[in-house]
Amino acid sequence: MINCRENRSVIFIKELYIPNKMKNILFIFFSFFVPNLALANQPIDWQLGFQKAASESMREIVAFHDKLLLPIIIAISVFVLFLMLYACVRFRASANPNPSKRTHNVAVEVLWTLIPCLILIVIAVPSFKILYKQDAIPKADLTIKAIGYQWYWGYEYPDENIIFDSYMIEEKDLKANQPRLLAVDNEVVVPVNKVVKVLITANDVLHAWALPSFGVKRDAVPGRINETWFKAEKVGTYYGQCSELCGIKHAFMPITVKVVSEDDYEIWLSEAREKFAKEEIKNEKLQIAKK
């Protein structure tokens, strides 16, 4: 679902009557100058960078990447390019007919070992800080359990006695605002600004539950329960995909999380408790077995 204003303007550009190639060039051009334009709660064509952050974790990841990693990467690339060009020009055969026979230089060797080490330490410290913060789960307001199956996700709300499966909607059945390969029949619904703890496991092979806007990605391992958490800050629909190559339909088991206000969540809960009741399913199965 496309529901943020920035994205509407992107769509507007994309709907203009201009050749496709031109559209893409325009789109990239605008993306550079208005970074938010390219970002939404789902991947979009010709997107540069991350999806728009919808949680504190993701904001920190994006800031770490944009403000620290990117400048360091650019500086190193420019420096190495400069050295290569300088060596090519300064020491070319015609300008330097008698090359130096020198093989060692202690000062240079110490420097090119120490400086990269220092750069790695500068990167590692904030990186570990973010990792540890993500790892420590705050007191959860609600818990959901995601189970990876070949090839769909099953969800449980253990405290609410809710269980349901979430299948991708086939292309031919998509409604107007449902994105292809991302929309599902039963979305996970969570309240806004609440800590959601996610228990992740799998039933058959390795899968991974990933939601880029929340900065969340955890492997779903059969026989083991992994944990993660997120606190969505904005109402909206967020899309993710299975991120562990799990078989032939790996690309067709998307994840949709609908973040709603607390009141809407209560309404959904009361409906879901009946529609997706876990005990009733068990009882039905028992009755069938008895017959």
Residues forming the site for Cu ion (CB under 5 A): 207, 242, 246
* b/e 264-277 (16+ beta carbons within 10 angstroms → b): ebeebeeebeeebb
- Residue pair 37/10 in contact (Cβ under 8 Å)? The answer is yes
Q: What is the residue type of 272?
A: A
Residue 46 tokens read as 């010709």
**Cα–Cα distance measured from residue 40 to residue 27, given in angstroms and rounded to the nearest whole number:** 14
Closest distance of CB 62 from Cu ion, Å: 25
Q: What is the 3-state secondary structure (H, E, C) of 212-235?
A: HHHCEEEEECECCCEEEEECCCCC
Question: For Cu ion, which is the closer residue by CB, 207 or 218?
Answer: 207
Question: For Cu ion, which is the closer residue by CB, 169 or 260?
Answer: 169
Residue 90's alpha-carbon distances to 76, 83, 108, in angstroms, are 21, 10, 19
Which of these, 74, 80, 67, lies nearest to 112 by C-alpha position? 80
Closest distance of CB 167 from Cu ion, Å: 13
Angle between helices 106-135 and 56-63 (to 10 degrees): 170
Question: For Cu ion, which is the closer residue by CB, 49 or 222?
Answer: 222
Residue 107 tokens read as 């000062």
Residue 254 tokens read as 């998307």
What is the bridge-based pairing of β-strands 196-202 and 188-191? unpaired
Question: For Cu ion, which is the closer residue by CB, 232 or 242?
Answer: 242
Closest distance of CB 202 from Cu ion, Å: 8
Which of these, 11, 31, 35, 57, lies nearest to 210 by C-alpha position? 57
Closest distance of CB 188 from Cu ion, Å: 16
